[in-house]
């Protein structure tokens, strides 16, 4: 039997776009097809990352923009080195909620930092690691906000940002997808979960 090669899929999009639902559906489909799937996320996909997640999402008061970008990059460096790369080397499928595109969109487009610098920082942190496929669940931030409100969970630091911030984040994601159309699959997150899942499967099928 030949060893299967690893496959790395990341999900991106604003808060409330439905990434977790789609990750669940994709995981179930790939597991049924006999693949070993590792589900993970950033920030917080490792033990060290868990501690960093607590700072970036729940620290009360400001975090200087460069410090925030470095915290996400530190989480990412440790996560890729200790969780993602080993799983890919074992031939597993890694389904990951958020990766460096989130940093570019949130810390770059959303805040005051230069998007290219944020991207370079993450690429340095991970020795250039990029996913095989990135699914962008694109959603109007007004609809996303209504979904989050309906969830009735307390907002984290980023979710609590104003609508204009989330509009800039969305534009950041779409610009990234346009610049790297081979890696990205952009889907309308207002569609039904099953329609979205079908489109994801159609794109992933030839890769597994
Ligand atoms: P997420 O885990 O998707 O939140 P939740 O558990 O509430 O679904 O992401 C947490 C927040 O972190 C989200 O608002 C986006 C933000 N974020 C960044 O600002 N930069 C990054 O590099 C990453 C990975 C996330």
Of residues 60 and 109, the one with the higher pLDDT is 60
Q: Are 176 and 105 in contact (CB under 8 A)?
A: yes
Domain of 123, in residue numbers: 7-207
When divided into structural domains, the chain yields a total of 1
| Cα atoms found within 13 Å of the Cα of residue 197, Cβ hemisphere only | 15
> How many other C-beta atoms can be found within 10 angstroms of the C-beta atom of residue 134?
23
Give a yes or no: residue 112 inside a domain: yes
* CB contact set of 51 (below 8 Å; sequence gap of 6+): none
| Residue 88 domain-assigned (yes or no) | yes
Report the pLDDT value the prediction gives residue 1, as an integer from 0 to 100.
45
pTM of model > 0.85: yes
Is residue 53 reached through a cis peptide bond, with omega within 30 degrees of 0 on the bond before it?
Answer: no
- Backbone dihedral angles phi then psi of residue 13, each to the nearest 5 degrees: 145, 170
Position 63 in a domain:
yes
Residue 41 phi, psi dihedral angles, 5° rounding = -155, 160
Say if 1 falls within a structural domain.
Answer: no
What is the three-class DSSP state of 4? coil
| DSSP 3-state percent helix, strand, coil across the chain (nearest 5) | 55, 15, 30
Q: Which position has the higher pLDDT, 161 or 77?
A: 77
Which DSSP string do the residues of 42-75 spell out, in sequence order?
SS-SSHHHHHHHHHHHH-SS---HHHHHHHHHHH
From the CA of 103, give the closest atom in ligand 1: 22
For ligand 1, pick from 55, 97, 102 the residue to mutate: most ligand atoms within 8 Å of CB. 102
Q: Which residues form ligand 1's pocket by a CB distance below 6 Å?
A: 15, 41-43, 57, 72, 97-98, 102-103, 106-107, 156, 158-159
2, part of any domain? no
pLDDT of residue 3: 62
- From the CA of 42, how far away is ligand 1's center (Å)? 7
Least confident of 39-43, 107-111, 141-145, 185-189: 107-111
Output the CA torsion sign for 130, 136, 142, 148: negative
**What does the alpha-carbon distance between residue 102 and residue 105 come to, in Å, rounded to a whole number?**
5
pLDDT at 167 over 50: yes
Least confident interval from 53-57, 86-90, 159-163, 178-182 = 159-163
In this structure, the residue with its CA closest to atom 14 of ligand 1 is 158
Question: Quick one: which of 48, 104, 107, 54 has its CA closest to 81?
Answer: 48
Distance from residue 2's CA to the centre of ligand 1 (Å):
37
The predicted-structure confidence for 71-92, as pLDDT tens digits, reads as follows 999 999 999 999 999 999 999 9
Distance 20 CA to ligand 1 centre (A): 12
Whether 196 maps to a domain, the answer reads yes
Percent over 90 (pLDDT), the chain: 83
Q: Tell me how far the alpha carbon of residue 71 lies from the centroid of ligand 1, in angstroms.
A: 12
- Residue 99, domain CATH: 3.40.50.300
Interval 15-33 mean pLDDT:
96
Instruction: Flag whether 79 is in a domain.
Output: yes
């Amino acid at each position: 039997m030949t060893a299967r090669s690893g496959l790395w899929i990341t999900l991106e999009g604003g808060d409330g776009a439905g990434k977790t639902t789609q990750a669940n559906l994709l995981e179930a489909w790939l597991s049924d097809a006999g693949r070993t799937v590792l589900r993970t996320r950033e920030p917080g996909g490792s033990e060290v990352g868990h501690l960093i997640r607590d700072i970036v999402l729940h620290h009360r008061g400001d975090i200087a923009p460069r410090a925030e970008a470095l915290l996400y990059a530190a989480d990412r460096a440790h996560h890729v080195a200790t969780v993602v790369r080993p799983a890919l080397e074992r031939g597993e499928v890694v389904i990951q909620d958020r990766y460096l595109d989130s940093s570019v969109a949130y810390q770059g487009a959303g805040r005051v930092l230069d998007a290219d610098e944020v991207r370079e920082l993450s690429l340095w942190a991970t020795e250039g690691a990029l996913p095989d496929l990135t699914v962008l669940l694109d959603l109007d931030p007004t609809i996303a906000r209504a979904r989050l409100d309906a969830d009735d969970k307390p907002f984290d630091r980023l979710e609590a940002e104003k609508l204009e911030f989330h509009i800039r984040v969305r534009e950041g994601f779409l610009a990234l997808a346009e610049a790297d159309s081979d890696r990205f699959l952009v889907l309308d997150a207002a569609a039904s979960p099953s329609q979205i899942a079908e489109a994801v499967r159609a794109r992933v099928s030839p890769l597994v």
